[in-house]
Structure 1
Amino acid sequence: MEDVARHAGVALGTVSHVLNHPHKVAPATLEKVRHSIDELGFVPDRRARALAAGTSNVIGFVVVDLSNSFFLDMARGAEQEAQRHGMNVLLANSDVQPEKELVYMHLFNEERVAGILLAPQPTNADDVLQRGRWRSDVVVLNTVPGDPDLCAVTANNELGGYLAARHLIDTGRRSLAFVGGPFSLSPVTDRHRGVERAVAESNGSVRLTTIKTSNVQAADGRKAGRQLAALPANERPDGIVAAADLVALGIVQAFLAERGPRVPEDVSVIGYDNNRAAWDSEISLSTLAQPGEEMGRVATRLLIEEISHPANHEHQRLDLEPTLIVRQSSTRE
């Protein structure tokens, strides 16, 4: 900064204003200082500035899987809320690798970010949180951590499973299948529990079959779809709740490839997440839309509240509701 000040012929404080409060600097001076910054190739040391100021304007966000548009929506919501408060978001994709979650958490810790948003693999959250001494405040998304001294923002997956099954039952389906896994993932078990609740309300008029998969990818759906297509028509379910849109898409693909039951004439299919695959497929998928953007905004708001007012902050556990979206795959018209 001293080099920039000498080069531009201004006071050191003026350079500081250009970097931090440009609206306070006259346009001609602003242009002169910025020209010197470009000429010298000056880049502010963010960590040094954070140490000097005792704070940072950067939030780190560790996301489990950016190939899933649900997490992209979270990131978009977080960025929107952070910008409202004059802050920025650095995004890290762990790519469903637990060790990478820990690597990025340590990286953000070393960078002394103001706070960290963590949307981990649900089975890995507590392990990540316990394996480091985090300087920054942390808010967890999409799963509830064991530590009560952390805020968490989740989606009500049990309600989503219930709404999916209720929709199929209300449209006349009487033999349902839930397809998804692994059941070690709490979102999968919660969605299955919601389906069970809707079926239980039918007082025996609806039956439920559960097909467990090793993951929630399209390949898992295709494998389950081939199994279902091979069943005799009188043993085959007429309504399918998939644990994720990719699973639902795989099921539909298998039915088409095997010339199996027609969707939705013979069997209705509903997915979960409202990923791009849901509306881009040949048969558009009914689905449960996750409140991703809202989760990102709410989690960021809680984090900034904790950063700004630590003494008065109360940790919260918020459960947001999904939305049923009905498309071709579950409507018989």
Structure 2
Amino acid sequence: MAVSIRDVATRAGVSVGTVSNVLNRPDEVSAESVSRVTQAIEELGYVRNDAARKLRAGVSTTVGFVVLDGQNPFFNDVVRGAEDEATKHGIAILYGNTDEDHGRERLYLDLFEEQQVRGLLIAPYGDVTGRLRRLRERGIACVLVDRFSGDGKFSSVSIDSVAGGRMAAEHLIACGRRRIAFVGGPFDIRQVNDRLAGARAAAENAHVPVSVEVVATEAMTVAEGVAAGARIISRPPTAWPDALFAANDLIALGLLQSLIVDGRMLVPDRIAIIGFDDIPFAAAAAVPLSSIRQPSRMIGRTALRIVLEETADPYSIPRQTVFPPELVVRRSTAG
């Protein structure tokens, strides 16, 4: 059975208030009382519940972080950036992976609300504006991660995914590709829509005819990329695209795996592939993968700083931090 502060007071022969003062304001207590309480703590093996103390004081030492896909190295790096920054402030990160599931997302939001976390970082699946508004009303600052807040009601840290999609397609067009297939989904994810919109804008503004078709996936995983690649390969060769733009690197790696195993659609001679995120596996692929780089750790660090600033000043105006994307060219497009 856990030893309570009341047990310590009984052993030391003092009041509970005196024990509390010894723990929190020892300079206000006589030396004799400090000695008696300290001795009682040692004899009983009392362990102070610091988390509960800080919650009662209205200051938690934890920040919740909800991500779309815990298997994606991009989000692992974003969380790592937030953890690096949190450590500087004595903050711990509580992490939840929704796996692109609305039910799991609600579960983690419920949990972090019950835990009265100091703040919440979230890469949302779908629209969670109403729920985040409720959390903020309860004193929990919320910051969107890898998602631009279009209405400006919450602070956000992201890159310009539309610009990134345009950059990827412009690179493919500059490499001489004219039949681009955008591979990604689900389209409940805002980033997928933005990257496709950027690619379509690049095609419309090109000085040559360029088509952009959509090959939808059910998730942003390697397995979905493999399946999409198999569907593309099953077409007659005359119907093959000459370039693939994947909504993220995991899908791109799955596509690459399908094409290499089949052996007919050589990369990049017959078809070019570009991904998005520039995860570490991209450079190490059998055919090194071109990608659109996001500053993942900087995104996490920046989001953590903002949530702490908004906790300190609940009346601060939400701000949108948007990092520029960067094109990283490797063999999968450059030959």
Whether TM exceeds 0.5 here: the answer is: yes
CA RMSD of aligned residues (A): 3.2
Asked whether the 8 Å contact 2:8–2:44 carries over to 1, the reply is no
Correspondence for 1:208: 212
Give the match's secondary structure for 2:99: coil
Contact 1:101/1:128, CA 8 A, preserved across alignment: no
Q: Aligned partners of 1:99, 1:236: CA distance in 2, in Å? A: 38
Among 251, 260, 271, the alignment partner of 1:256 is 260
1:198 aligns with 2:202: yes
1:241 offset after TM fit, Å? Answer: 0.8
Q: Distance in 1 between matches of 2:226 and 2:96?
A: 31
Partner of 2:331: 328
- Post-superposition Cα deviations, 1:151-193, rounded to whole Å, max 9, x if no partner, equal 1222211111111112222223233222222233221111111
Report which stretch shifted further, 100-109 or 266-275: 100-109
CA distance, structure 1, for counterparts of residue 292 and residue 182 of structure 2: 14
CA distance in 2, matches of 1:90, 1:228: 40
Instruction: Report the TM-score when normalising by structure 2.
Output: 0.81
1:186-221 superposed Cα distances (whole Å, 9 cap, x missing partner)? 211111111112222222343333322333222332
Pick one of 114, 118, 130 that aligns with 1:114: 118
1:315 equivalent in alignment to 2:318: yes
- Aligned mate of 1:271, from 275, 279, 291: 275
Could you say which residue in structure 1 is the equivalent of 2:97? 93
Q: Once the two structures are superposed, what CA deviation does each residue of 1:39-71 show, in whole Å capped at 9, x if it has no partner?
A: 8161524133321x3322221222222111121
Aligned amino acid, residue 244 of structure 1 = N
User: Who is 1:238 aligned against?
Assistant: 242
Aligned to 1:187: 191
Give the letter aligned to residue 329 of structure 2.
V
Aligned with residue 129 of structure 2, among 126, 131, 135 = 126
Residue 257 of structure 1, CA deviation: 2.3
Residues 9-50 of structure 1 show CA distances to partners (whole Å, capped at 9, x for unaligned) of xx95564489xxxxxxxxxx9xxx7xx679816152413332
Which moves more between the two structures, 207-216 or 243-252? Answer: 207-216
Partner of 1:174: 178
Please give the TM-score of this superposition, normalised by the length of structure 1.
0.82
Q: How does 1:278-317 map to 2 (within 5 A)?
A: 278-311=282-315, 313-317=316-320
Unaligned ranges ≥5, structure 1: 19-28
Instruction: Describe the SS at the equivalent of 1:271.
Output: strand
Q: Return the alpha-carbon distance in structure 2 between the equivalents of residues 228 and 54 of structure 1.
A: 56
Runs of 5+ consecutive residues of structure 2 not aligned to the other structure? 13-17, 27-33
Offset at residue 75 of structure 1 (A): 1.0
Distance change in 2, residues 1:286/1:16 (3 Å): same
From the superposition, tell whether residues 50 and 249 of structure 1 become closer, same or farther in structure 2 (CA, over 3 Å): same
Assess, with a 3 A threshold, how the Cα gap between structure 1 residues 127 and 314 changes in structure 2: closer, same or farther.
closer
How many aligned residue pairs are there? 317
Query: 1:39–1:66: structure 2 CA closer, same or farther, 3 Å change rule?
Result: farther
Q: Does 1:160 align with 2:164?
A: yes
| Equivalent pair of 1:98/1:124 in contact (CA under 8 Å) | no
Listed as ranges, the matches of 1:213-232 within 5 Å are 213-232=217-236
Partner Cα separation in structure 2 for residue 54 and residue 228 of structure 1: 56
With over 3 angstroms needed to count, the CA separation of the structure-2 counterparts of 1:187 and 1:139, relative to structure 1, is same
Code of the residue aligned with 1:282 in structure 2: it is A
